Chains A and B, each alone.
Chain A
Amino acid sequence: MLALGAVIALLPLALANDYFYDVAILVGLNAIVCVGLNLLIGYAGQISLGHAGFFGLGAYGSAILTARYGWPPLAALAAATAGVALLAYLVGRPILRLKGHYLAMATLGLGVIISIVAANEDRYTGGPDGMSVPPLSIAGHALAGERIWYWLVGALLLAAVWLALNLIDSPRGRALRALHGSEIAAEVIGIDSVRQKVLVFVLSAVYAALAGGLTAHYSGFVTPGQVTFLHSIELVTMVVFGGMASTFGAVAGAAVLTTLPQLLAVLKDYEMVVFGAVMMLTMIFMPKGLVPTLAALFAGKGAR
């Protein structure tokens, strides 16, 4: 936690210009989504292939409320996030009774529905062209400039990580990990499995929606591309690559896989190929993910 704080505090020394800041902000926003998604996938052991849908609803919700209805951005952000939480709750109750492939298909379907709505309801969303979004403003002061955003996103990421670590370290966190370990055993020690799964599903959707809304206000633009199935896959890849059931792994995964396409700008069209390859190589060579694998390596060396 302190290390992450130190990295966020010291990183600006290495950020030469606004472009680097821009990448760092995108890393932070993706990391917030991944920390939430990791609670669901890594700790509770439930897959979601639809989280770009929640991200997109947060983005479009906040965009539409500010741009079309003139809401203050903070209120719009809060309302969009609350709306996503409610939707995740309503959808989560029936679909989280499903397991494995069935749950994957159900969340996939949810994501696809949201993405089609975003692309087709052009009266509200601007359709395939997307729509522009007013900047975030607090009490009338617009937040503009990469540097302000960097500190805002950095602080929010720290808060997101802190909340996630607290949850994992509590009786509720143990209940989530118990579900992952053995659902039937979790039930017979009194854990209401569906309820706990819905709870963590909603929480992870809130993380995604908040990051989505912030991304929209930050970039001033939102397109259906951010809501697609491919974006859901990217998010899952970040979590798996960084290390399931490792909160810092989720942050590291987001950092590496957000930065990588920027470095490989020449390969822009082949971005998804790189993601696919990363996913395959991770599964083969370090199925536990980056951070847990490195941690085990260092722990092993220390013991010797």
Chain B
Amino acid sequence: MSLLRAEGLSKEFGGVHAVQALEFAIEPGSVFSIIGPNGAGKTTLLNLLTGIYRPSAGRIWLETRELTGRAPHEFAAAGMGRTFQNLQIFFNMSALENVMAGRYLHERCGLAAALLRFPSLARSERACREEALELLAFVGLQQHAAAPADSMPYGALKRLEIARALATRPKLLLLDEPAAGLNPAETQEIDRLIQRLAARGLTVVLVEHNMKLVMGVSDHVLVLDYGRKLAEGDAESVRSDPRVIQAYLGVEARTHA
């Protein structure tokens, strides 16, 4: 059974069809990439898949649960984790606290327990801290643990967002342009990180402009153009699809090719 299924998914902004009648399914354990020219609707689609936007039409299922119309925190509770193209870091916290915050769904903490500092809280806080440290080490940020987030370099913040998303223990991790703005060495680190996540069996949805990265890691690629599905398939078949080449390079290039 597919992990995620989208049926007739559409989003309209005052007459502009950002995403139109999309149908696709994401298989568990796969790396599913969404590519397309600027303005193709990739980020809109990611916002639909995490509940930030409500679809104008269509439905979304995660496993057997329909999530259409739910709030973002309910998508998160159902198992969607994500990062943002424009960083959404908690700059008022340390790196470690950012990741610990990501464990929110898995901390049972009533108001009374919090206010009166129940002894059980100390234990669960220790476990939470340890897991957060492990995740920081996993993304290669252990040396930044105590650093205030607003003192960290951009490339590290990109990975901090991934660690925070992993802390929610997602079934599906959606990465919105994780390599945007990174230099080649940092991009390679992200590349390796995605491969390690895939090796752990995590399902990854990747929106990315760096074609080398996409073609290297993806099991399945969905190509969008003007909010519609242009092509879909494995990396090789998409790369050689004439419609994709036309959308990216224009008609001229195709005739010369």
Interface set of A (CB-CB < 8 Å, partner B): 163, 166-167, 169-175, 177-178, 180-182, 184-193, 199, 245
Set A173, A189, A199: member contacting B102, Cβ < 8 A:
A189
Asked if B76 and A189 make an inter-chain contact with CB atoms under 8 angstroms apart, the answer reads: yes
CA distance in complex: A182, B150 (Å):
13
Contact of A174 with B97 at beta-carbon distance under 8 Å, contacts A187-B72, A189-B164, A191-B104 already known: yes
Is B88 in contact with A189, judged by CB distance below 8 angstroms? no
- Please state if A175 and B101 are interface contacts (CB–CB under 8 Å): yes
Q: How far is the CB of B53 from chain A (nearest CB, A)?
A: 12
Chain A residue nearest in CB terms to B100: A174
Question: For residue B116, which residues in chain A have a CB less than 8 angstroms away from its CB?
Answer: 163, 166
Does any Cβ of A come within 8 Å of B226's Cβ? no
16 A-B pairs, CB-CB below 8 angstroms?
A171-B125, A174-B93, A177-B93, A180-B92, A181-B89, A181-B91, A184-B52, A184-B72, A185-B89, A186-B90, A186-B101, A188-B82, A189-B101, A189-B167, A190-B76, A191-B73
Closest B residue to A193 using CB positions: B73
CB distance from B97 to the nearest CB of A (A): 6
Q: Which residue of B lies closest to A174 (CB)?
A: B101
Majority-rule SS of B interface residues: helix
B249 close to A (CB within 8 Å): no
Name the contact of A188 in the complex, choosing from B50, B114, B124 (C-beta under 8 A). B50
Count A-B pairs with CB separation below 8 Å.
104
User: CA A185 – CA B91 in complex, angstroms?
Assistant: 11
Are the C-beta atoms of A190 and B77 separated by less than 8 Å?
yes
Min CB distance B162 to A, Å, is 12
Q: CA of A139 to CA of B84 in the docked complex: distance in angstroms? A: 59
Interface residue count on the B side (C-beta < 8 Å): 42
Cβ distance A158 to chain B, nearest Cβ, rounded Å = 14
Pick from A169, A172, A175, A190: contact of B168, CB under 8 Å: A190
Flag if A190 contacts B92 (CB, 8 Å).
no
Residues of B within 8 A of A245 (CB): 92
With A166-B117, A185-B88 in contact, is A175–B104 under 8 Å at CB? yes
Known: A175-B104, A177-B93, A181-B90. A189 touches B168 (CB 8 A): yes
B84 touches A185 (CB 8 A): yes
Flag B69-84 by CB within 8 Å of A: 1 or 0 each. Answer: 0011101110011101
